[in-house]
Structure 1
Amino acid sequence: MRGDTSRSPVLDRLPDIDALVARFRHVRRATERLAEPIPAEDQVVQSMPDASPTKWHRAHTSWFFETFVLAPHLPDYQVYHPRFALLFNSYYQGAGPQFPRNLRGTLGRPTCDDITRYRAHVDDAIERLVDHHPDRLRDVASLIEVGLEHERQHQELLLTDIKHALASNPLQPAYRELEAAPPADPTPLRWRSYSGGVYRIGHSEQLNAFAFDNERPRHGVFLEPFALADRLITNGEFLNFIEDGGYDSPRWWLSAGWDLVQREQWHAPLYWQRLDERWHTFTLGGLRELRLDEPACHLSYFEADAYARWAGARLPTEAEWEVASADLPLNGNLLESHALHPRPATESPSNALRQAFGDVWEWTSSPYSPYPGFEPWSATLGEYNGKFMCNQFVLRGGSCLTATDHIRPTYRNFFPAQARWQCTGIRLAR
Structure 2
Amino acid sequence: MSQSQPTLADPALDYLERFKSVRKQTLNLVEPLETEDFVVQPVSDVSPPKWHLAHTTWFFEVFLLVPHLPDYQLFNQDFPFLFNSYYVAAGDRWARASRGHLTRPTVQEVLTYRAYVEEHMERLLQQSLPPELAHVMEIGLQHEQQHQELLLYDIKYILGHNPLFPPYQNRERESHDTSAPLGWLIVDKGNYDVGHQGDGFCFDNEQGRHEVHLEAYEIANRTVTNGEYLEFMQDGGYSSHQYWLSDGWDWLGNQAVKAPMYWINEDGHWLHYTLLGLKPLDLNAPVAHLSYYEANAYASWKGCRLPTELEWEVAVGIHQPKIPEDGNFVESGSLIPKGQSGPAFFGNLWEWTSSAYLPYPFYKAPDGALGEYNGKFMINQMVLRGGSFATPKSHIRATYRNFFAPQCQWLFSGVRLARHIN
Query: What's the TM-score once normalised by structure 2's chain length?
Result: 0.95
CA contact (8 A) 2:2 2:201 kept: no
C-alpha distance in 1 between matches for 2:356 and 2:328: 26
Find the residue that maps to 2:408 and give its secondary structure. Answer: coil
The AA in structure 2 aligned to 1:393 is M
Decide whether aligned partners of structure 1 residues 178 and 415 sit closer, same or farther in structure 2, where only a CA change above 3 A counts. Answer: farther
Find the residue that maps to 2:383 and give its secondary structure. Answer: strand
Decide whether aligned partners of structure 1 residues 81 and 175 sit closer, same or farther in structure 2, where only a CA change above 3 A counts. Answer: same
CA contact (8 A) 1:130 1:137 kept: no
| 1:379 matches 2:373 | no
C-alpha distance in 2 between matches for 1:403 and 1:208: 20
Find the residue that maps to 1:366 and give its secondary structure. Answer: strand
| 1:399 matches 2:388 | yes
C-alpha distance in 2 between matches for 1:48 and 1:9: 34
Q: Which residue of 2 aligns with 1:11?
A: 5
The AA in structure 2 aligned to 1:345 is Q
Q: Which residue of 2 aligns with 1:20?
A: 15
The match for 2:210 among 213, 219, 227 is 219
C-alpha distance in 1 between matches for 2:390 and 2:309: 21
Q: Which residue of 1 aligns with 2:180?
A: 187
Decide whether aligned partners of structure 1 residues 294 and 17 sit closer, same or farther in structure 2, where only a CA change above 3 A counts. Answer: closer
The AA in structure 2 aligned to 1:194 is V
Q: Which residue of 1 aligns with 2:399?
A: 410
The AA in structure 1 aligned to 2:223 is L
| 1:164 matches 2:157 | yes
- 1:137, CA displacement in angstroms? 3.3
Find the residue that maps to 2:21 and give its secondary structure. Answer: helix
C-alpha distance in 1 between matches for 2:118 and 2:405: 34
C-alpha distance in 1 between matches for 2:133 and 2:123: 12
CA contact (8 A) 1:59 1:118 kept: yes
- 1:40, CA displacement in angstroms? 1.2
Deviations 1:347-386 (A, max 9, x none): x5xxxx22x1111100000000000010112211000000
- 1:329, CA displacement in angstroms? 2.3
The match for 2:277 among 265, 282, 286 is 286
C-alpha distance in 2 between matches for 1:385 and 1:241: 35
Decide whether aligned partners of structure 1 residues 357 and 98 sit closer, same or farther in structure 2, where only a CA change above 3 A counts. Answer: same
Decide whether aligned partners of structure 1 residues 407 and 179 sit closer, same or farther in structure 2, where only a CA change above 3 A counts. Answer: farther
Worse-superposed segment, 121-130 or 15-24: 15-24
Find the residue that maps to 1:231 and give its secondary structure. Answer: coil
Deviations 1:249-276 (A, max 9, x none): 1000000000111111111000000012
- 1:203, CA displacement in angstroms? 0.6
The within-5 A match list for 1:87-106 is: 87-106=82-101
C-alpha distance in 1 between matches for 2:190 and 2:179: 34
The AA in structure 2 aligned to 1:283 is T
- 1:179, CA displacement in angstroms? 3.7
Find the residue that maps to 1:395 and give its secondary structure. Answer: strand
Find the residue that maps to 1:405 and give its secondary structure. Answer: helix
- 1:9, CA displacement in angstroms? 4.8
The AA in structure 2 aligned to 1:424 is S
CA contact (8 A) 1:315 1:427 kept: yes
CA contact (8 A) 2:177 2:338 kept: no
Q: Which residue of 1 aligns with 2:352?
A: 363
- 1:290, CA displacement in angstroms? 0.3
Decide whether aligned partners of structure 1 residues 8 and 357 sit closer, same or farther in structure 2, where only a CA change above 3 A counts. Answer: closer
Deviations 1:216-266 (A, max 9, x none): 011111100111000110000000000000000100000000011111111
Aligned residues: 414
Query: What's the TM-score once normalised by structure 1's chain length?
Result: 0.94
Deviations 1:80-133 (A, max 9, x none): 1010001100000000011011110111111111111111111111111121x4
- 1:184, CA displacement in angstroms? 3.8
C-alpha distance in 1 between matches for 2:220 and 2:12: 42
Find the residue that maps to 2:328 and give its secondary structure. Answer: coil
C-alpha distance in 2 between matches for 1:184 and 1:42: 31
| 1:52 matches 2:47 | yes
C-alpha distance in 1 between matches for 2:21 and 2:179: 37
CA contact (8 A) 2:178 2:340 kept: no
CA contact (8 A) 2:6 2:201 kept: no
Q: Which residue of 2 aligns with 1:337?
A: 332
Q: Which residue of 2 aligns with 1:3?
A: none
C-alpha distance in 1 between matches for 2:75 and 2:282: 47
Find the residue that maps to 2:41 and give its secondary structure. Answer: coil
The match for 1:152 among 145, 162, 169 is 145
| 1:320 matches 2:314 | no
CA contact (8 A) 2:6 2:134 kept: no
Worse-superposed segment, 167-176 or 52-61: 167-176
- 1:16, CA displacement in angstroms? 3.7
- 1:182, CA displacement in angstroms? 2.5
- 1:47, CA displacement in angstroms? 1.3
Deviations 1:9-42 (A, max 9, x none): 5716225476221111100000000011111110
- 1:186, CA displacement in angstroms? 4.5
| 1:39 matches 2:34 | yes
Decide whether aligned partners of structure 1 residues 139 and 17 sit closer, same or farther in structure 2, where only a CA change above 3 A counts. Answer: farther
Q: Which residue of 1 aligns with 2:286?
A: 295
The AA in structure 1 aligned to 2:338 is R
% identity of equivalent residues: 50
The AA in structure 2 aligned to 1:401 is A
C-alpha distance in 1 between matches for 2:2 and 2:201: 12
Q: Which residue of 2 aligns with 1:4?
A: none
Decide whether aligned partners of structure 1 residues 335 and 186 sit closer, same or farther in structure 2, where only a CA change above 3 A counts. Answer: closer
The match for 1:126 among 97, 114, 121 is 121
Deviations 1:145-166 (A, max 9, x none): 1001000000000011010011
- 1:177, CA displacement in angstroms? 2.2
| 1:203 matches 2:192 | no
C-alpha distance in 1 between matches for 2:208 and 2:5: 14
CA contact (8 A) 1:333 1:400 kept: yes
Query: What 5-or-longer segments of structure 2 have no aligned partner?
Result: none
CA contact (8 A) 1:181 1:343 kept: no
The match for 1:175 among 146, 153, 168 is 168
